[in-house]
Amino acid sequence: SNQFLILNSGHKMPIIGLGTWNASDAEVEAAIDAALEAGYRHIDTAPVYLNEKAIGRALKRWLDSGKVKREELFIVTKLPTSANRASDVEATIKKSLADLQLDYVDIYLIHSPVSAEANADGSLKFGADGLMVPDLAADITTTWTAMEKLVPSGLAKSVGVSNFDQEQLERVLKVAKIPPATNQIEHHVYLQQRDLVDFCKAKGIVITAYSPLGSKGLIKVNASAGINRELPDLFDIPEVKEIAAAHGKTPAQVLLRWIVDNGIVIIPKSSNLERLKQNLNVFDFKLTAEEIAKLSALDQNFRICDWSLLPGVQRHPEYKF
Ligand code: A2P
């Protein structure tokens, strides 16, 4: 039931992947087991999720057992904001590869266009004022040139970006010898980002949708930073519920099918075997043109993954939200 698309790098990417953001070590190791059992082969992680080692342990067990081959897996990780500069790219991917117990990742992404200074242990640096210390010397185009070198060196099969807007992509494309294969962005019925999606399509850059189900329960609203808003529950939208009932599917399956029908990769997160299976099983029904139009009309430009949860991020010139 897992389908693929072909990236501009020539590599195959499974359309449905497992998101692991906000999953604890114990949770993620069990989730990887359940996901691989259910048929997932694409796993999305990042050093800032603090679960690469746990994912590496689970993958090693599966690879050693022979139940899955490395070439069947599609593993995604990311260059963190605290290492977002050309000179840190190679050492940082090598650290991820060591933690994941892999020789290469299928795609390595610049996690965000924003760069921050790092503490000696590599963690993101906050000043005495409690705000992120921006690295104003770093530049996304020179970082991209370092990212491209990972392909011939064999550390990443493909390279891409995350959280980039059109203008940032245009700057990268201007210098790129290898164009980004994907731009991983927040995308769901309430934040459709249609102009950015269309731009990426026109440039052959596949969109990967994070928070495709609205990340309900995963976002910690930061009341101390004055951010205290009601997050929507996408499963409760009447149109979504109606369409789900009409097809005998769940609201989650409708939300996901609507995204993949637009040629977009999805990385829904779940730690529950039943829901993992549900999220993979979205190809046995078809949305009508009228249903697609109803879902497309729900856009509210509502960003759930609000970056202002990272205090001080607004001081960086690449922060555009
Ligand atoms: P759980 O891990 O308990 O399944 P997103 O992928 O947009 O970040 O959303 C993830 C959230 O949605 C998690 O809280 C997850 O909870 C929940 N979730 C994932 N799949 C489903 C589903 N099929 N039905 C209901 N909730 C789901």
* Three-state SS annotation for 106-174: EEEEECCCCCECECCCCCECECCCCCECECCCCCHHHHHHHHHCCCCCCCEEEEEEECCCHHHHHHHHH
**pLDDT value of residue 309:** 75
**pLDDT value of residue 220:** 65
Does 321 fall in a domain? no
What's the CA-to-centroid distance between 81 and ligand 1, angstroms?
26
CB neighbour burial string for 259-291, b if at least 16 within 10 angstroms, e if fewer: bbebebbbbbbbbeeebbbbbbbbeeeebeeeb
**pLDDT value of residue 221:** 62
CA atoms 80, 86, 88, 91: torsion sign: positive
Does 292 fall in a domain? yes
**pLDDT value of residue 226:** 59
pLDDT in tens, the chain (321 residues): 569 999 999 999 999 999 998 777 778 999 999 999 999 999 999 999 889 999 999 999 999 999 999 999 999 999 999 999 999 999 999 999 999 999 999 999 999 999 999 999 999 999 999 999 999 999 999 999 999 999 999 999 999 999 999 999 999 999 999 999 999 999 999 999 999 999 999 999 999 999 999 987 666 666 555 556 677 899 999 999 999 999 999 999 999 999 999 999 999 999 899 999 999 999 999 999 999 999 999 999 998 887 777 889 988 999 987
**pLDDT value of residue 225:** 58
**pLDDT value of residue 23:** 74
Closest by CA to 260, choosing from 19, 17, 35, is 17
Are 158 and 7 in contact, with CB atoms under 8 Å apart? yes
Does 57 fall in a domain? yes
Q: What is the atom index within ligand 1 of the atom nearest the CA of 23?
A: 2
Structurally, the chain folds into a number of domains equal to 1
List the domain range (segments joined by +) for residue 212: 4-315
Nearest CA to ligand 1 atom 25: 252
**pLDDT value of residue 223:** 58
Of 51, 184, 270, 305, best ligand 1 pocket probe by most atoms within 8 Å of the beta carbon: 270
Structural tokens at position 113: 């266009």
Nearest CA to ligand 1 atom 17: 270
For ligand 1, whether the C-beta of 270 sits within 6 Å is yes
Are 229 and 221 in contact, with CB atoms under 8 Å apart? yes
111 is in an annotated binding site: yes
Closest by CA to 197, choosing from 173, 166, 172, is 166
For ligand 1, whether the C-beta of 249 sits within 6 Å is no
In the annotation, is 49 catalytic? yes
For ligand 1, whether the C-beta of 269 sits within 6 Å is yes
ipTM for the predicted complex comes to 0.98
- β-pairing, 18-19 vs 42-44, is parallel
Does 143 fall in a domain? yes
Instruction: List alpha helices for 6-116, DSSP H.
Output: 25-38, 52-65, 89-100
What's the CA-to-centroid distance between 315 and ligand 1, angstroms?
32
Q: Is 27 helix (H, G, I), strand (E, B) or coil?
A: helix
What's the CA-to-centroid distance between 174 and ligand 1, angstroms?
38
Read off the pTM. 0.96
Domain containing 243 — which CATH number? 3.20.20.100
Structural tokens at position 103: 């020789």
Nearest CA to ligand 1 atom 18: 270
| CA–CA gap between residue 197 and residue 193 (Å, rounded) | 6
Does 109 fall in a domain? yes
Does 320 fall in a domain? no
